[in-house]
Structure 1
């Protein structure tokens, strides 16, 4: 395994992070526990979860994934071996069964206390804001609509004040953002620069993969110049970058088969690009999954690559991507395909 640090901290994390969003829906508790055992044995010390998991979000399954992790900590005694990240759910129609107060002080406190209880731990290493409160980007939408009007009032100072209090109480160590824009990232960073008693956002968890490299437009410069590290999620594009959906008969238990609303990586251009990437990988004796993950691992703005799997076989292959070095011929081939079909999945 290779390791890095959460930016501006002494917290050492594996460059492969174990994602957990299938546990409690696509995966049983037993399977989730087996994945954590396996990943830790392979040197993965960084686990990412959220109160919203498992996904798709469902009231009856609210926060089950955190509970599964908590019971594993109790069973194994491995809490101190893991750098643990979780998130508060943002606003959205699919989260209204959780709360409707966004990131107000009481909502943040309630969310942290709930996660601590379910995870059966005294502290969270990295606490993240899952989505912006304001109306801006979302799945399937590329840019900000200048004509839209929302009723969000800038409360970023207040959010950071609440997070500061939680840090001072020892309940969280570091903070981060997720699904953010360049404006949002800089707004948080500038607030903590001006008010140095406020915590600094150290990471940003956004999608990044061969079919969606929109992080490179604006946010990569923010990440490099401001030292805020990318935690790349969906590096396999909901599994489409394994190539398993390219056949005539989709896999019966695949995420996109089970949940067809997860179609952002399945449009015509995305499928065409995936076929090209699959051919490039085959030409060089790699699986598409290995090439897709190894590409993400090469990015200079990456702190950790969040992988997920529904089987130990998939998990083993995904973790092993850390040991793959892509030659220039593959990297040049990737850029050629990207320039032909850039970012087909918003």
Structure 2
């Protein structure tokens, strides 16, 4: 395994992070425990979860993924071996079953206590704001929704003061953003300077070979402000494994069970790009998944690459991508495709 540190901290994390959002829905508790056992054996010490999980979110399964991690931590006693990241859900209809009001002091304090209880731990290493209060272009929305421009933005100072009080109390070690934009990130940094408090260390945004929008603005923020990307959906919900090509929809796959989650990645441009990337992978005698993940693993603004799997063979392949180094020639071939079909998925 390869390691780095969460920016501006001494917290050592693996370059591969174990994503968990299928546990409690597509995966059982026993399977979640098996995945954590294997990941830790392979040197993965960084686990990412959210109070919202599993996905699709609903009132019946709310918090179950955190509970699965909590029972594993209690059973194994491995809390000191794991860097644990979680998230507070943002506001909106999608989270009406959790609470109302979005990100504010009351909700953050309520959310952190509930997560700590479910996770059976006294602290969370990295606590993240799952998405902003304001309307932004995330979750398949390509362009900024201008109709939301007049709506109220985040109460940045209240949020930051609350998060930093949790750091002082020892309930979290540090904090990060998620599904943020350059403007939103810089507003947080501006407020941090005003309040003289620690700034966010990471941003968890979507990034993959067919969705490289992070490079337009956000990658510069990452590198100039030292805020690392935690890349989620690096396989574009499985589309970059190639399993959905030629109209295939494997039984039990995410695309088969929840087709709306992969719809954003299934346009003609995306599928055309996937075929071209698949050809590069075959030329290099590696799988398309390995190519897709290895590309992200090598990027200078990426702190960790969040992989997820429902089956153990997928997990082994995804974690194993850390051992693949793409040549300059292969990287040039990838860039040629990106130039021809730039960011086909929103």
TM-score under structure 2 length normalisation:
0.98
SS in 2 for 1:176: strand
Structure 1: runs of 5+ lacking an equivalent: none
SS in 1 for 2:146: coil
CA distance, structure 2, for counterparts of residue 218 and residue 289 of structure 1: 26
TM-superposed CA distance for 1:43, in Å, is 0.2
Residue equivalent to 1:246: 245
Residue equivalent to 2:144: 144
Spell out, residue by residue over 1:119-140, the C-alpha distance to the aligned partner (whole angstroms, 9 max, x if none): 0000000000000101122322
**More divergent stretch after superposition (280-289 vs 293-302):** 280-289
CA distance, structure 2, for counterparts of residue 126 and residue 111 of structure 1: 14
CA distance, structure 1, for counterparts of residue 264 and residue 85 of structure 2: 25
TM-superposed CA distance for 1:143, in Å, is 2.2
Change (3 A) 1:288 1:13: same
SS in 2 for 1:251: coil
Residue equivalent to 1:36: 36
Residue equivalent to 1:80: 80
TM-superposed CA distance for 1:154, in Å, is 4.1
- How many residues are paired up? 345
Q: Retained in 1: the 8 A contact 2:135–2:145?
A: no
**Aligned structure 1 segments of 4 or more residues deviating by more than 4 angstroms:** none
Residue equivalent to 1:266: 266
Q: Retained in 1: the 8 A contact 2:21–2:53?
A: yes
TM-score under structure 1 length normalisation:
0.98
Q: Would you say 1:280 and 2:280 are equivalent positions?
A: yes
Residue equivalent to 2:228: 229
Q: Retained in 2: the 8 A contact 1:135–1:150?
A: no
TM-superposed CA distance for 1:104, in Å, is 1.3
**More divergent stretch after superposition (216-225 vs 164-173):** 164-173
Residue equivalent to 2:97: 97
Residue equivalent to 1:315: 315
SS in 2 for 1:37: helix
SS in 1 for 2:18: strand
TM-superposed CA distance for 1:117, in Å, is 0.2
Residue equivalent to 2:331: 331
CA distance, structure 2, for counterparts of residue 315 and residue 253 of structure 1: 16
Q: Retained in 2: the 8 A contact 1:54–1:62?
A: yes
Q: Retained in 2: the 8 A contact 1:163–1:199?
A: no
CA distance, structure 2, for counterparts of residue 150 and residue 81 of structure 1: 45
Q: Retained in 2: the 8 A contact 1:18–1:308?
A: yes
TM-superposed CA distance for 1:92, in Å, is 2.1
Structure 2: runs of 5+ lacking an equivalent: none
Q: Retained in 2: the 8 A contact 1:179–1:205?
A: yes
Residue equivalent to 2:27: 27
**More divergent stretch after superposition (97-106 vs 152-161):** 152-161
Residue equivalent to 1:134: 134
CA distance, structure 2, for counterparts of residue 153 and residue 220 of structure 1: 22
